[in-house]
Amino acid sequence: MSKVTTERVGHILKIGLNRPDKVNAADEELLHGLALAYGELEREKDLRVGLLFAHGDHFTAGLDLFDVGPKMQSGKLQLVPEGGIDPWGIQTKQVSKPVVMATRGTCFTLGVELALASDIVIAASDSKFAQLEVARAILPFGGGTIRLPKVAGHAKAMQYLLTGDTFSAEDALQMGMINEIVAPGAELDRAMEFAQKIAQQAPLAVQATLASARNADTENEKKQLFQRLGQLMTTKDVERGMQAFISKQPAEFEGN
């Protein structure tokens, strides 16, 4: 049984962590499967949005240190196999297409960092989060130290990064780490609603908007904005969008 499932739903790639008997703790096989799924999302032109979730009642307990720990100590841990993309966007470029994430129950360490690397996050009210790395004598290496201070502010980020304390879905919402809280069991359907709405938009425009937003804190992005716009203005999807505006009918974008 695959430890990461993939399913295409229209232009959406559903990516599921699938080790529920181990609270979806990530061993090397699961990490490889996740990276390969992100690679598929990146390569396949027909795919426009990723939808990340987990099978079972919990998103992830974090790293499976029984499997991953010795490989980390020996320097032999391979996070991204050939054909994959680092889901956290640290060892490779970040996937250029948006990712919507649904979480419930335990969402520790790498799960928090997956949320921080995603673009929209829907959390069940029973979600609990923690960056526990300091209690294991390591540090977050999936972007937690980089992204959480930007999202939550330095003081609040340090409260959780330096103590390993658990925080709730309400805490995550107040910090701006997640978008919405829903009843347990409703998170995947709500995340799918967002994914479907994004998938209906012009995909090249979505990717350009995402790239600009990720680059927002650099001075260079001010110069690139009109370059991005100019590239989009040459696409056939612009014509489709204009025609939809005139006809007052929904546009069917093709990504060209």
Whole-prediction pTM value?
Answer: 0.92
Element (H, E) at 14: strand 12-17
Element (H, E) at 12: strand 12-17
- Which pLDDT does position 168 carry in this prediction? 98
96-143 pLDDT tens trace: 999 999 999 999 999 999 999 999 999 999 999 999 999 988 899 999
Domains annotated for the chain, with CATH where assigned, are 4-199 (3.90.226.10), 203-247 (no CATH)
Q: What confidence tier does 231 reach under pLDDT thresholds 50, 70, 90?
A: confident
Question: What is the pairing mode between strands 167-168 and 128-130?
Answer: antiparallel
- Mean pLDDT, the chain, integer: 91
Q: What confidence tier does 246 reach under pLDDT thresholds 50, 70, 90?
A: confident
149-204 pLDDT tens trace: 999 999 999 999 999 999 999 999 999 999 999 999 999 999 999 999 999 999 99
How would you label 82-116 residue by residue, b for 16+ Cβ within 10 Å and e otherwise? eebbbbbbbebebbebbbbbbbbbbbbbbbbbbbb
Query: What distance in Å separates the CA atoms of residue 207 and residue 210, rounded to the nearest whole number?
Result: 5
